Structure 1
Amino acid sequence: MIVDIETIDEFLAHRSSDVEQALRDAAAAEIMPRFRRLAAHEVDEKSGPHDLVTDADRKAEARLTEVLAGLLPGSVVVGEEAVHADPAVYEAIRGEELVWIVDPVDGTRQFVHGDPGFCTLVALARRGVVYASWTYAPARDQMATAVRGRGAFLDGERLISGSPDQGSDLRIATSHPDYTTDEQKRALLGLRTEGVRPRPCGSAGLEYLAIARGLLDGTVFSWEAAWDHAAGLLLVEEAGGAHLTLTGEPFRITGGNALPFTTARDAATARRVTDMLSGGTPTAP
Protein backbone atom coordinates (compact mmCIF):
# COMPACT_ATOMS: atom_id res chain seq x y z
CA MET A 1 0.00 0.00 0.00
CA ILE A 2 1.40 3.40 -0.96
CA VAL A 3 0.86 5.92 1.83
CA ASP A 4 3.92 8.10 2.47
CA ILE A 5 4.00 11.70 1.25
CA GLU A 6 7.38 11.26 -0.46
CA THR A 7 5.98 8.50 -2.67
CA ILE A 8 2.93 10.59 -3.54
CA ASP A 9 5.19 13.52 -4.44
CA GLU A 10 7.38 11.28 -6.58
CA PHE A 11 4.37 9.88 -8.39
CA LEU A 12 2.98 13.35 -9.09
CA ALA A 13 6.36 14.60 -10.27
CA HIS A 14 6.75 11.80 -12.81
CA ARG A 15 3.29 10.46 -13.67
CA SER A 16 0.90 13.43 -13.57
CA SER A 17 1.07 13.67 -17.36
CA ASP A 18 -0.07 10.03 -17.53
CA VAL A 19 -3.19 10.97 -15.55
CA GLU A 20 -3.85 13.82 -17.97
CA GLN A 21 -3.52 11.40 -20.87
CA ALA A 22 -5.91 8.97 -19.20
CA LEU A 23 -8.56 11.72 -19.04
CA ARG A 24 -7.99 12.68 -22.66
CA ASP A 25 -8.16 9.06 -23.80
CA ALA A 26 -11.37 8.37 -21.88
CA ALA A 27 -12.99 11.46 -23.33
CA ALA A 28 -11.87 10.63 -26.86
CA ALA A 29 -13.05 7.03 -26.65
CA GLU A 30 -16.24 7.24 -24.60
CA ILE A 31 -17.48 10.82 -24.15
CA MET A 32 -16.96 12.92 -27.26
CA PRO A 33 -18.21 10.28 -29.75
CA ARG A 34 -21.54 10.45 -27.88
CA PHE A 35 -21.67 14.23 -27.51
CA ARG A 36 -24.74 15.50 -29.39
CA ARG A 37 -25.25 11.94 -30.67
CA LEU A 38 -26.89 10.28 -27.66
CA ALA A 39 -29.71 7.87 -28.41
CA ALA A 40 -32.69 7.72 -26.04
CA HIS A 41 -31.65 4.31 -24.71
CA GLU A 42 -28.24 5.73 -23.71
CA VAL A 43 -29.75 8.13 -21.11
CA ASP A 44 -31.30 7.09 -17.80
CA GLU A 45 -32.60 8.83 -14.69
CA LYS A 46 -31.13 8.00 -11.29
CA SER A 47 -33.00 9.84 -8.52
CA GLY A 48 -35.15 11.97 -10.84
CA PRO A 49 -35.32 14.01 -14.07
CA HIS A 50 -32.51 16.34 -12.95
CA ASP A 51 -30.18 13.46 -12.04
CA LEU A 52 -29.16 11.81 -15.30
CA VAL A 53 -26.64 9.17 -16.26
CA THR A 54 -25.54 8.18 -19.74
CA ASP A 55 -23.52 5.45 -21.38
CA ALA A 56 -20.72 8.00 -21.61
CA ASP A 57 -20.66 8.34 -17.80
CA ARG A 58 -20.58 4.59 -17.24
CA LYS A 59 -18.05 3.68 -19.90
CA ALA A 60 -15.68 6.60 -19.20
CA GLU A 61 -15.69 5.75 -15.49
CA ALA A 62 -14.97 2.09 -16.19
CA ARG A 63 -12.04 3.04 -18.41
CA LEU A 64 -10.63 5.54 -15.91
CA THR A 65 -11.03 3.08 -13.04
CA GLU A 66 -8.88 0.51 -14.81
CA VAL A 67 -6.19 2.95 -15.94
CA LEU A 68 -5.86 4.99 -12.72
CA ALA A 69 -5.66 1.94 -10.47
CA GLY A 70 -2.94 0.59 -12.74
CA LEU A 71 -0.93 3.82 -12.59
CA LEU A 72 -0.72 3.75 -8.79
CA PRO A 73 -0.58 0.23 -7.31
CA GLY A 74 -2.37 0.00 -3.97
CA SER A 75 -4.77 2.81 -4.77
CA VAL A 76 -8.54 2.48 -5.01
CA VAL A 77 -11.08 4.29 -7.16
CA VAL A 78 -14.28 5.93 -5.94
CA GLY A 79 -16.39 6.87 -8.95
CA GLU A 80 -19.82 8.43 -8.99
CA GLU A 81 -21.43 5.57 -10.89
CA ALA A 82 -19.73 2.88 -8.79
CA VAL A 83 -21.11 4.52 -5.66
CA HIS A 84 -24.57 4.70 -7.21
CA ALA A 85 -24.38 0.94 -7.74
CA ASP A 86 -22.88 0.24 -4.29
CA PRO A 87 -22.90 3.10 -1.71
CA ALA A 88 -20.35 1.23 0.42
CA VAL A 89 -17.68 2.13 -2.15
CA TYR A 90 -17.77 5.71 -0.84
CA GLU A 91 -16.26 4.65 2.50
CA ALA A 92 -12.81 4.41 0.87
CA ILE A 93 -12.63 8.22 0.95
CA ARG A 94 -12.46 7.99 4.76
CA GLY A 95 -9.97 5.10 4.77
CA GLU A 96 -6.20 4.72 4.77
CA GLU A 97 -5.74 3.96 1.07
CA LEU A 98 -4.83 6.44 -1.58
CA VAL A 99 -8.05 7.06 -3.45
CA TRP A 100 -8.86 8.35 -6.90
CA ILE A 101 -12.12 10.30 -6.79
CA VAL A 102 -13.73 10.31 -10.24
CA ASP A 103 -16.65 12.10 -11.85
CA PRO A 104 -16.61 10.86 -15.45
CA VAL A 105 -19.04 13.51 -16.76
CA ASP A 106 -19.61 16.40 -14.41
CA GLY A 107 -22.51 18.33 -15.88
CA THR A 108 -24.34 15.35 -17.33
CA ARG A 109 -27.47 17.44 -17.84
CA GLN A 110 -25.49 19.86 -20.01
CA PHE A 111 -23.90 16.95 -21.86
CA VAL A 112 -27.31 15.41 -22.60
CA HIS A 113 -28.61 18.72 -23.95
CA GLY A 114 -25.62 19.24 -26.24
CA ASP A 115 -24.13 22.05 -24.15
CA PRO A 116 -20.29 22.02 -24.03
CA GLY A 117 -20.33 23.01 -20.35
CA PHE A 118 -19.28 19.63 -18.91
CA CYS A 119 -16.01 18.13 -17.75
CA THR A 120 -14.27 15.09 -16.31
CA LEU A 121 -12.96 15.39 -12.75
CA VAL A 122 -10.27 13.35 -11.05
CA ALA A 123 -8.70 13.95 -7.64
CA LEU A 124 -6.07 12.00 -5.72
CA ALA A 125 -6.63 11.97 -1.97
CA ARG A 126 -5.89 10.15 1.27
CA ARG A 127 -7.66 10.47 4.62
CA GLY A 128 -9.60 13.49 3.39
CA VAL A 129 -6.59 15.42 2.08
CA VAL A 130 -6.61 16.11 -1.66
CA TYR A 131 -3.09 16.05 -3.08
CA ALA A 132 -3.75 16.61 -6.77
CA SER A 133 -6.59 17.27 -9.16
CA TRP A 134 -7.36 17.24 -12.85
CA THR A 135 -10.28 19.03 -14.54
CA TYR A 136 -10.69 18.28 -18.24
CA ALA A 137 -13.32 19.99 -20.39
CA PRO A 138 -13.11 17.94 -23.62
CA ALA A 139 -15.58 19.98 -25.67
CA ARG A 140 -13.44 23.06 -24.94
CA ASP A 141 -10.10 21.19 -24.95
CA GLN A 142 -9.13 22.71 -21.58
CA MET A 143 -7.06 20.90 -18.95
CA ALA A 144 -6.73 22.40 -15.48
CA THR A 145 -4.44 20.81 -12.91
CA ALA A 146 -3.44 21.44 -9.31
CA VAL A 147 -0.94 19.88 -6.92
CA ARG A 148 -1.04 20.75 -3.24
CA GLY A 149 1.59 23.37 -2.52
CA ARG A 150 2.61 23.70 -6.18
CA GLY A 151 -0.12 25.89 -7.66
CA ALA A 152 -2.98 25.63 -10.12
CA PHE A 153 -2.69 25.72 -13.89
CA LEU A 154 -4.88 25.86 -16.98
CA ASP A 155 -3.22 24.47 -20.09
CA GLY A 156 0.16 25.16 -18.50
CA GLU A 157 -0.58 28.76 -17.46
CA ARG A 158 -0.58 29.61 -13.75
CA LEU A 159 -3.99 30.47 -12.30
CA ILE A 160 -4.41 33.29 -9.78
CA SER A 161 -7.97 33.82 -8.60
CA GLY A 162 -7.41 37.36 -7.29
CA SER A 163 -10.13 39.29 -5.48
CA PRO A 164 -13.48 40.70 -6.66
CA ASP A 165 -13.36 44.22 -8.04
CA GLN A 166 -14.14 46.87 -5.44
CA GLY A 167 -17.67 48.18 -5.82
CA SER A 168 -18.80 45.47 -8.24
CA ASP A 169 -21.60 42.99 -7.57
CA LEU A 170 -20.50 39.56 -6.38
CA ARG A 171 -21.15 36.90 -9.02
CA ILE A 172 -22.24 33.76 -7.19
CA ALA A 173 -23.30 30.40 -8.66
CA THR A 174 -25.70 28.52 -6.37
CA SER A 175 -27.27 25.10 -5.98
CA HIS A 176 -30.43 24.37 -7.92
CA PRO A 177 -33.49 24.67 -5.60
CA ASP A 178 -34.36 21.03 -6.31
CA TYR A 179 -31.23 20.00 -4.42
CA THR A 180 -31.76 22.11 -1.28
CA THR A 181 -33.67 21.53 1.94
CA ASP A 182 -36.08 24.12 3.32
CA GLU A 183 -33.41 25.24 5.79
CA GLN A 184 -30.86 25.60 3.00
CA LYS A 185 -33.36 27.57 0.91
CA ARG A 186 -33.70 30.00 3.81
CA ALA A 187 -29.91 30.35 3.99
CA LEU A 188 -29.76 31.06 0.26
CA LEU A 189 -32.20 33.94 0.75
CA GLY A 190 -29.29 35.75 2.37
CA LEU A 191 -27.80 36.21 -1.10
CA ARG A 192 -30.82 38.20 -2.24
CA THR A 193 -29.28 41.47 -1.24
CA GLU A 194 -27.77 44.52 -2.87
CA GLY A 195 -24.34 43.85 -4.29
CA VAL A 196 -24.86 40.17 -5.05
CA ARG A 197 -25.81 38.56 -8.36
CA PRO A 198 -26.68 34.90 -7.72
CA ARG A 199 -27.42 32.49 -10.56
CA PRO A 200 -28.03 28.72 -10.81
CA CYS A 201 -24.86 26.67 -11.14
CA GLY A 202 -23.83 24.55 -14.08
CA SER A 203 -21.11 21.92 -13.93
CA ALA A 204 -19.57 22.21 -10.45
CA GLY A 205 -16.11 21.49 -11.82
CA LEU A 206 -16.34 24.30 -14.37
CA GLU A 207 -17.71 26.70 -11.76
CA TYR A 208 -14.65 25.99 -9.62
CA LEU A 209 -12.44 26.56 -12.65
CA ALA A 210 -14.18 29.90 -13.25
CA ILE A 211 -13.36 30.94 -9.67
CA ALA A 212 -9.71 29.93 -10.10
CA ARG A 213 -9.58 32.03 -13.29
CA GLY A 214 -11.20 35.06 -11.62
CA LEU A 215 -14.26 34.83 -13.87
CA LEU A 216 -16.66 34.01 -11.01
CA ASP A 217 -16.50 35.34 -7.47
CA GLY A 218 -17.92 32.36 -5.64
CA THR A 219 -20.22 29.38 -5.36
CA VAL A 220 -22.73 28.24 -2.76
CA PHE A 221 -23.41 24.50 -2.86
CA SER A 222 -25.71 22.40 -0.70
CA TRP A 223 -24.44 18.85 -1.30
CA GLU A 224 -21.31 16.96 -0.26
CA ALA A 225 -20.57 14.39 -2.99
CA ALA A 226 -16.77 14.33 -3.11
CA TRP A 227 -16.59 13.65 -6.86
CA ASP A 228 -18.21 17.05 -7.52
CA HIS A 229 -15.98 19.03 -5.14
CA ALA A 230 -12.59 17.42 -4.45
CA ALA A 231 -10.86 18.41 -7.69
CA GLY A 232 -12.28 21.93 -7.82
CA LEU A 233 -11.64 22.78 -4.19
CA LEU A 234 -7.93 22.06 -4.54
CA LEU A 235 -7.84 23.99 -7.83
CA VAL A 236 -9.35 27.05 -6.13
CA GLU A 237 -7.11 26.72 -3.05
CA GLU A 238 -3.97 26.56 -5.16
CA ALA A 239 -5.13 29.59 -7.16
CA GLY A 240 -5.43 31.60 -3.93
CA GLY A 241 -9.10 31.04 -3.08
CA ALA A 242 -10.82 29.65 0.00
CA HIS A 243 -13.82 27.58 1.08
CA LEU A 244 -15.91 27.71 4.26
CA THR A 245 -18.92 25.95 5.71
CA LEU A 246 -21.58 27.64 7.84
CA THR A 247 -19.53 26.91 10.97
CA GLY A 248 -16.55 28.80 9.53
CA GLU A 249 -14.50 25.66 8.88
CA PRO A 250 -13.09 24.52 5.53
CA PHE A 251 -15.20 21.98 3.64
CA ARG A 252 -14.23 18.35 4.33
CA ILE A 253 -14.53 15.81 1.52
CA THR A 254 -15.07 13.13 4.16
CA GLY A 255 -18.46 14.68 4.97
CA GLY A 256 -20.24 16.02 8.03
CA ASN A 257 -20.18 19.63 6.84
CA ALA A 258 -22.58 22.39 7.86
CA LEU A 259 -24.34 23.20 4.59
CA PRO A 260 -24.58 25.11 2.36
CA PHE A 261 -20.89 25.95 2.00
CA THR A 262 -19.14 28.57 -0.06
CA THR A 263 -16.02 28.67 -2.20
CA ALA A 264 -14.64 32.04 -3.27
CA ARG A 265 -11.78 33.84 -4.96
CA ASP A 266 -10.30 34.90 -1.62
CA ALA A 267 -10.80 34.30 2.09
CA ALA A 268 -12.47 37.66 2.70
CA THR A 269 -15.14 36.95 0.09
CA ALA A 270 -15.72 33.47 1.50
CA ARG A 271 -16.33 34.98 4.95
CA ARG A 272 -18.61 37.64 3.50
CA VAL A 273 -20.76 35.09 1.69
CA THR A 274 -20.88 32.78 4.72
CA ASP A 275 -22.10 35.71 6.84
CA MET A 276 -24.90 36.28 4.35
CA LEU A 277 -25.87 32.62 4.47
CA SER A 278 -25.85 32.65 8.27
CA GLY A 279 -28.10 35.69 8.43
CA GLY A 280 -25.38 37.83 9.93
CA THR A 281 -24.10 41.20 8.79
CA PRO A 282 -21.83 40.73 5.76
CA THR A 283 -18.25 41.86 6.27
CA ALA A 284 -16.94 44.67 4.11
CA PRO A 285 -15.61 43.55 0.73
Structure 2
Amino acid sequence: MEELIRTVVAEEVLSRFGRLSDADISEKTGPGDLVTVADRNVEERLTEVLSSMAPGSLVIGEEAVAADPGLLDSLHDDGPVWIIDPIDGTANFVRGLPEFATLVSVVRHGELLASWTHLPVPGLTAVARRGEGALLDGAPLRLRPAPRSGVLQVASARPAHLTAEQQHRFYELAPEHGVKACASGSAGCDYLDVARSELDAVAYTWDNPWDHAAGVLLVQEAGGTALTARGEPFRMNQGVVPFTAARDASTARRVAELLAVPLPSATPSES
Protein backbone atom coordinates (compact mmCIF):
# COMPACT_ATOMS: atom_id res chain seq x y z
CA MET A 1 0.00 0.00 0.00
CA GLU A 2 2.80 2.43 0.91
CA GLU A 3 4.44 1.94 -2.48
CA LEU A 4 1.12 2.43 -4.29
CA ILE A 5 0.50 5.74 -2.54
CA ARG A 6 4.06 6.95 -3.06
CA THR A 7 3.98 6.11 -6.77
CA VAL A 8 0.62 7.75 -7.48
CA VAL A 9 1.51 10.86 -5.50
CA ALA A 10 4.93 11.19 -7.13
CA GLU A 11 3.38 11.03 -10.59
CA GLU A 12 0.34 13.22 -9.98
CA VAL A 13 1.36 15.62 -7.17
CA LEU A 14 5.12 16.03 -6.96
CA SER A 15 5.39 16.35 -10.72
CA ARG A 16 3.09 19.42 -10.49
CA PHE A 17 4.43 20.92 -7.25
CA GLY A 18 5.40 24.52 -7.96
CA ARG A 19 4.30 24.13 -11.58
CA LEU A 20 0.51 24.49 -11.44
CA SER A 21 -1.12 26.68 -14.05
CA ASP A 22 -4.32 28.65 -13.53
CA ALA A 23 -6.13 26.03 -15.59
CA ASP A 24 -5.07 23.36 -13.09
CA ILE A 25 -6.86 25.08 -10.17
CA SER A 26 -10.55 25.65 -9.51
CA GLU A 27 -12.92 26.38 -6.62
CA LYS A 28 -15.53 23.91 -5.36
CA THR A 29 -18.01 25.61 -3.04
CA GLY A 30 -16.65 29.13 -2.84
CA PRO A 31 -13.57 31.36 -2.56
CA GLY A 32 -10.65 29.56 -0.95
CA ASP A 33 -12.14 26.07 -1.31
CA LEU A 34 -9.59 24.92 -3.85
CA VAL A 35 -9.23 21.75 -5.88
CA THR A 36 -6.59 20.95 -8.45
CA VAL A 37 -6.14 18.50 -11.28
CA ALA A 38 -3.73 16.66 -8.97
CA ASP A 39 -6.43 16.19 -6.29
CA ARG A 40 -8.79 14.70 -8.83
CA ASN A 41 -6.23 12.46 -10.51
CA VAL A 42 -4.91 11.03 -7.24
CA GLU A 43 -8.40 10.25 -6.00
CA GLU A 44 -9.44 8.64 -9.29
CA ARG A 45 -6.34 6.45 -9.48
CA LEU A 46 -6.45 5.34 -5.85
CA THR A 47 -10.19 4.70 -6.05
CA GLU A 48 -9.71 2.40 -9.03
CA VAL A 49 -7.01 0.33 -7.32
CA LEU A 50 -8.43 0.25 -3.78
CA SER A 51 -11.92 -0.78 -4.86
CA SER A 52 -10.42 -3.89 -6.43
CA MET A 53 -8.14 -4.77 -3.50
CA ALA A 54 -10.87 -5.96 -1.12
CA PRO A 55 -13.98 -7.70 -2.51
CA GLY A 56 -17.11 -5.70 -1.77
CA SER A 57 -15.21 -2.65 -0.58
CA LEU A 58 -16.33 0.91 -1.22
CA VAL A 59 -14.33 4.12 -1.58
CA ILE A 60 -15.20 7.51 -0.13
CA GLY A 61 -13.02 10.32 -1.46
CA GLU A 62 -13.20 14.00 -0.59
CA GLU A 63 -13.83 15.06 -4.17
CA ALA A 64 -16.41 12.31 -4.76
CA VAL A 65 -18.32 13.39 -1.64
CA ALA A 66 -18.25 17.00 -2.85
CA ALA A 67 -20.19 15.78 -5.88
CA ASP A 68 -22.38 13.27 -3.98
CA PRO A 69 -22.68 13.87 -0.19
CA GLY A 70 -24.81 10.74 0.12
CA LEU A 71 -21.65 8.66 -0.15
CA LEU A 72 -21.01 9.36 3.54
CA ASP A 73 -23.89 7.03 4.40
CA SER A 74 -21.63 4.15 3.35
CA LEU A 75 -19.27 4.65 6.29
CA HIS A 76 -21.19 2.19 8.43
CA ASP A 77 -21.68 -0.47 5.77
CA ASP A 78 -20.83 -4.08 6.57
CA GLY A 79 -17.94 -4.25 4.11
CA PRO A 80 -14.64 -2.37 4.23
CA VAL A 81 -14.73 1.30 3.27
CA TRP A 82 -11.67 3.19 2.05
CA ILE A 83 -11.42 6.91 2.85
CA ILE A 84 -9.19 9.14 0.70
CA ASP A 85 -8.03 12.71 1.02
CA PRO A 86 -5.94 13.08 -2.15
CA ILE A 87 -4.27 16.30 -1.00
CA ASP A 88 -4.86 17.45 2.55
CA GLY A 89 -3.71 21.06 2.50
CA THR A 90 -4.54 21.88 -1.11
CA ALA A 91 -4.13 25.62 -0.45
CA ASN A 92 -0.53 25.00 0.66
CA PHE A 93 0.09 22.83 -2.39
CA VAL A 94 -1.23 25.59 -4.67
CA ARG A 95 0.99 28.18 -2.97
CA GLY A 96 4.08 26.01 -3.33
CA LEU A 97 4.31 25.31 0.41
CA PRO A 98 5.44 21.81 1.44
CA GLU A 99 2.92 21.25 4.27
CA PHE A 100 0.41 18.95 2.61
CA ALA A 101 -0.32 15.22 2.73
CA THR A 102 -2.16 12.35 1.10
CA LEU A 103 -4.33 10.45 3.56
CA VAL A 104 -5.82 6.97 3.15
CA SER A 105 -7.65 4.89 5.75
CA VAL A 106 -9.93 1.88 5.88
CA VAL A 107 -12.91 1.36 8.19
CA ARG A 108 -15.47 -1.35 8.82
CA HIS A 109 -18.76 -0.69 10.63
CA GLY A 110 -17.43 2.83 11.25
CA GLU A 111 -14.38 1.52 13.14
CA LEU A 112 -10.92 2.57 11.97
CA LEU A 113 -8.76 -0.38 11.01
CA ALA A 114 -5.68 1.08 9.30
CA SER A 115 -4.36 4.36 7.94
CA TRP A 116 -1.58 5.77 5.79
CA THR A 117 -0.28 9.36 6.04
CA HIS A 118 2.12 10.36 3.27
CA LEU A 119 3.93 13.70 3.17
CA PRO A 120 5.25 13.96 -0.41
CA VAL A 121 7.82 16.75 -0.11
CA PRO A 122 9.86 15.32 2.80
CA GLY A 123 9.00 11.82 1.57
CA LEU A 124 7.62 10.56 4.90
CA THR A 125 5.01 7.82 5.27
CA ALA A 126 3.32 6.90 8.56
CA VAL A 127 1.26 3.73 8.90
CA ALA A 128 -1.11 2.80 11.73
CA ARG A 129 -3.01 -0.44 12.25
CA ARG A 130 -5.53 -0.91 15.03
CA GLY A 131 -3.99 -2.80 17.89
CA GLU A 132 -0.60 -3.08 16.16
CA GLY A 133 0.89 0.37 16.74
CA ALA A 134 2.23 3.00 14.36
CA LEU A 135 5.31 3.26 12.16
CA LEU A 136 7.08 6.15 10.46
CA ASP A 137 9.08 4.94 7.47
CA GLY A 138 9.23 1.53 9.12
CA ALA A 139 10.40 2.73 12.55
CA PRO A 140 8.04 2.46 15.56
CA LEU A 141 6.31 5.68 16.60
CA ARG A 142 5.78 6.03 20.34
CA LEU A 143 4.61 9.28 21.85
CA ARG A 144 6.39 10.98 24.72
CA PRO A 145 4.03 12.55 27.30
CA ALA A 146 3.72 16.32 27.05
CA PRO A 147 5.57 18.34 29.72
CA ARG A 148 3.51 18.76 32.89
CA SER A 149 4.32 22.46 33.02
CA GLY A 150 4.56 25.08 30.33
CA VAL A 151 2.32 26.12 27.46
CA LEU A 152 0.68 23.47 25.29
CA GLN A 153 1.14 23.91 21.55
CA VAL A 154 -2.17 23.10 19.85
CA ALA A 155 -3.00 23.31 16.13
CA SER A 156 -6.48 24.37 15.12
CA ALA A 157 -8.31 25.79 12.14
CA ARG A 158 -7.36 29.20 10.83
CA PRO A 159 -9.42 31.96 12.51
CA ALA A 160 -11.08 32.81 9.18
CA HIS A 161 -12.59 29.32 9.11
CA LEU A 162 -14.09 29.56 12.61
CA THR A 163 -17.20 31.26 13.95
CA ALA A 164 -16.75 34.26 16.23
CA GLU A 165 -17.46 32.02 19.23
CA GLN A 166 -14.90 29.45 18.11
CA GLN A 167 -12.29 32.14 17.49
CA HIS A 168 -12.89 33.41 21.01
CA ARG A 169 -12.55 29.91 22.47
CA PHE A 170 -9.45 28.86 20.52
CA TYR A 171 -7.49 32.09 20.22
CA GLU A 172 -8.60 34.36 23.09
CA LEU A 173 -9.43 32.02 25.96
CA ALA A 174 -6.62 29.57 25.15
CA PRO A 175 -3.72 31.54 26.76
CA GLU A 176 -5.65 31.72 30.04
CA HIS A 177 -5.62 27.90 30.08
CA GLY A 178 -1.96 27.44 29.21
CA VAL A 179 -2.63 26.76 25.54
CA LYS A 180 -1.11 28.45 22.51
CA ALA A 181 -3.21 27.89 19.40
CA CYS A 182 -1.57 27.93 15.98
CA ALA A 183 -3.35 27.85 12.64
CA SER A 184 -3.36 24.52 10.82
CA GLY A 185 -2.73 24.35 7.10
CA SER A 186 -2.93 20.56 6.88
CA ALA A 187 -4.60 18.33 9.46
CA GLY A 188 -2.61 15.35 8.21
CA CYS A 189 0.71 17.10 8.82
CA ASP A 190 -0.39 18.22 12.26
CA TYR A 191 -1.54 14.76 13.33
CA LEU A 192 1.86 13.42 12.31
CA ASP A 193 3.54 16.15 14.36
CA VAL A 194 1.51 15.03 17.39
CA ALA A 195 2.45 11.39 16.76
CA ARG A 196 6.13 12.46 16.61
CA SER A 197 5.78 14.43 19.89
CA GLU A 198 6.56 17.67 18.02
CA LEU A 199 3.11 19.14 18.71
CA ASP A 200 1.08 18.63 21.89
CA ALA A 201 -2.40 18.38 20.40
CA VAL A 202 -4.80 19.30 17.63
CA ALA A 203 -8.32 20.64 18.13
CA TYR A 204 -10.93 20.78 15.39
CA THR A 205 -14.52 21.91 14.96
CA TRP A 206 -15.46 19.63 12.06
CA ASP A 207 -15.18 15.87 11.58
CA ASN A 208 -14.97 15.22 7.83
CA PRO A 209 -13.65 11.64 7.79
CA TRP A 210 -11.09 12.29 5.02
CA ASP A 211 -9.47 15.01 7.16
CA HIS A 212 -9.31 13.09 10.44
CA ALA A 213 -9.64 9.32 10.06
CA ALA A 214 -5.99 8.65 9.23
CA GLY A 215 -4.61 11.07 11.79
CA VAL A 216 -6.79 10.06 14.73
CA LEU A 217 -5.82 6.40 14.33
CA LEU A 218 -2.15 7.37 13.90
CA VAL A 219 -2.13 9.35 17.15
CA GLN A 220 -4.03 6.65 19.04
CA GLU A 221 -1.76 3.85 17.86
CA ALA A 222 1.29 5.93 18.75
CA GLY A 223 -0.05 6.08 22.32
CA GLY A 224 -2.13 9.28 22.24
CA THR A 225 -5.75 10.03 23.10
CA ALA A 226 -8.69 11.55 21.21
CA LEU A 227 -11.52 13.15 23.20
CA THR A 228 -14.56 15.30 22.55
CA ALA A 229 -15.21 18.52 24.46
CA ARG A 230 -17.46 16.38 26.71
CA GLY A 231 -14.44 14.35 27.73
CA GLU A 232 -15.73 11.28 25.88
CA PRO A 233 -13.71 9.16 23.43
CA PHE A 234 -13.91 10.64 19.94
CA ARG A 235 -15.66 8.53 17.32
CA MET A 236 -15.39 9.40 13.66
CA ASN A 237 -18.33 11.02 11.89
CA GLN A 238 -20.60 11.11 14.95
CA GLY A 239 -21.15 14.87 14.68
CA VAL A 240 -19.74 15.53 18.17
CA VAL A 241 -17.44 18.52 17.82
CA PRO A 242 -15.16 20.14 18.76
CA PHE A 243 -12.66 17.43 19.62
CA THR A 244 -8.97 16.99 20.31
CA ALA A 245 -6.26 14.43 19.66
CA ALA A 246 -3.29 14.74 21.98
CA ARG A 247 0.02 13.23 23.02
CA ASP A 248 -1.40 11.77 26.24
CA ALA A 249 -4.63 11.53 28.22
CA SER A 250 -3.72 14.39 30.56
CA THR A 251 -3.08 16.76 27.66
CA ALA A 252 -6.28 15.65 25.94
CA ARG A 253 -8.26 16.42 29.09
CA ARG A 254 -6.68 19.88 29.39
CA VAL A 255 -7.58 20.74 25.81
CA ALA A 256 -11.06 19.21 26.14
CA GLU A 257 -11.67 21.37 29.19
CA LEU A 258 -10.71 24.43 27.17
CA LEU A 259 -13.09 23.42 24.41
CA ALA A 260 -15.87 23.03 26.98
CA VAL A 261 -15.27 26.37 28.79
CA PRO A 262 -18.62 28.22 29.13
CA LEU A 263 -18.58 31.34 26.99
CA PRO A 264 -20.09 34.72 27.81
CA SER A 265 -23.52 35.32 26.32
CA ALA A 266 -22.11 38.04 24.06
CA THR A 267 -19.90 37.14 21.12
CA PRO A 268 -16.43 38.70 20.99
CA SER A 269 -17.58 41.27 18.45
CA GLU A 270 -20.34 42.40 20.80
CA SER A 271 -18.26 42.71 23.95
TM band (smaller chain): over 0.9
Instruction: Give 1:93 shift.
Output: 0.9
Residue of structure 2 in register with 1:250 after alignment? 233
Instruction: Give 1:194 shift.
Output: 5.6
Residue of structure 2 in register with 1:143 after alignment? 125
Residue of structure 1 in register with 2:75 after alignment? 93
Please state if 1:177 is matched with 2:159.
Answer: yes
Please state if 1:39 is matched with 2:39.
Answer: no
The separation in 1 between residues aligned to 2:173 and 2:209, in whole angstroms, is 25
Q: Percent identity?
A: 48
Say which is worse superposed, 19-28 or 174-183, in terms of deviation. 174-183
2:94 pairs, out of 112, 128, 134, with 112
Structure 2, gaps ≥5 residues long: 263-271
Instruction: Give 1:185 shift.
Output: 3.0
Contact 1:131/1:147 (<8 A) preserved: yes
2:186 pairs, out of 170, 190, 203, with 203
User: Amino acid of the residue matched to residue 75 of structure 1?
Assistant: S
2:135 pairs, out of 139, 145, 153, with 153
2:63 pairs, out of 68, 81, 84, with 81
Residue of structure 2 in register with 1:9 after alignment? none
The separation in 1 between residues aligned to 2:91 and 2:31, in whole angstroms, is 9
Structure 1, gaps ≥5 residues long: 1-18, 281-285
Q: 1:253-281 CA deviation, whole Å, 9 max, x = no partner?
A: 23221x2211110011000111112117x
Q: Tell me the C-alpha RMSD between the 2 structures.
A: 1.4
Q: 1:131-171 CA deviation, whole Å, 9 max, x = no partner?
A: 00000111111010000011011001111112112322111
Moved over 6 A (4+): none
> How many residue pairs get matched?
261
Please state if 1:71 is matched with 2:80.
Answer: no
The separation in 2 between residues aligned to 1:270 and 1:184, in whole angstroms, is 18
User: Amino acid of the residue matched to residue 53 of structure 2?
Assistant: L
Instruction: Give 1:239 shift.
Output: 0.6
Contact 2:60/2:81 (<8 A) preserved: yes
The separation in 1 between residues aligned to 2:47 and 2:33, in whole angstroms, is 22
TM value normalised by structure 2: 0.92
Please state if 1:262 is matched with 2:244.
Answer: yes
TM value normalised by structure 1: 0.88
The separation in 2 between residues aligned to 1:195 and 1:84, in whole angstroms, is 37
The separation in 2 between residues aligned to 1:249 and 1:24, in whole angstroms, is 35
* SS of structure 1 residue aligned to 2:13: helix
